[in-house]
Structure 1
């Protein structure tokens, strides 16, 4: 049974080389930031658990790569770094926020077979 995502809404596209790209964005009140980060971590933990796929840029021969940004109101975007051993982000600029809004952007580029498996696992259209 697929895992439902409450905050992340993905768009999917493919290029001519057979690579897929999943993009998601969430614009939420700062108080809900931990919930969005938990969903992001859940997706990344699932991909990391698929040991047959190597994390590295596709242009360098990797199977998948990703980028996560968090942009609190009035701040510059910050890259969130995921720790696969702890299955959570190393640090977040939103952890101390209680007011305002935060915009998250998430891009995952991967081989077509990984994208298909990920879309099935999380019921991504």
Structure 2
């Protein structure tokens, strides 16, 4: 899958847990395609290892953190609904507003290998 908005930075900790971080800032008019890109990534991850979602320290194989930043507003955590395959955004985003979404994914070796195979090396 070709990504148009997200350019991930890769890191790995001493325990071998891989982390990918990406951030994209867009106008409200470009927000829908950015959200669709994130939804496709999180949908893929849930399809692959949804049952193993959760913090590694609690036995999970992968997890994500998704944050929304808007000028003059507090940082907001966003959630992906795997059944509906969508992210609920704040409703009051103005047409002229810029929105920054930050996505962090981390996972054990099986997740890392599958992620790299699907989305390419970073």
User: Do the structures match in fold with TM over 0.5?
Assistant: yes
Corresponding residue for residue 84 of structure 2: 86
Distance 1:32 1:124 in 2: 26
Report if the CA contact (8 A) 2:28-2:93 is conserved: no
| TM-score normalised by length of structure 1 | 0.89
| Structure-1 residue corresponding to 2:33 | 35
Q: Deviations over 1:7-56 (max 9, x none)?
A: 01101100110100010100111211111111111000001011476001
Question: Number of matched residues?
Answer: 122
Structure 2: stretches of 5+ with no match in the other structure? none
**Distance (whole Å) between structure 2 residues aligned to residue 107 and residue 77 of structure 1:** 15
Which structure has more helix as a fraction of its residues? 2
Say which of 113, 116, 119 aligns to 1:116.
Answer: 113
CA contact (8 A) 2:52 2:60 kept: yes
Whether 1:105 and 2:105 are equivalent positions in the alignment is no
TM-score if structure 2 supplies the norm length?
A: 0.91
Q: Compute the RMSD of aligned alpha carbons.
A: 1.6
Q: Which ranges of structure 1 fall in alignment gaps of 5 or more residues?
A: none
Runs of 4+ in structure 1 off by over 6 angstroms are none
- Over 3 Å counting, the alpha-carbon distance change for 1:52 and 1:37 in structure 2 is closer
Whole-Å separation in 1 of the counterparts to 2:45 and 2:92: 24
When residues 26 and 124 of structure 1 are mapped into structure 2, their CA distance, relative to the original with a 3 A threshold, is: farther
User: Aligned match of 1:13 in 11, 14, 29?
Assistant: 11
Aligned to 1:65: 63
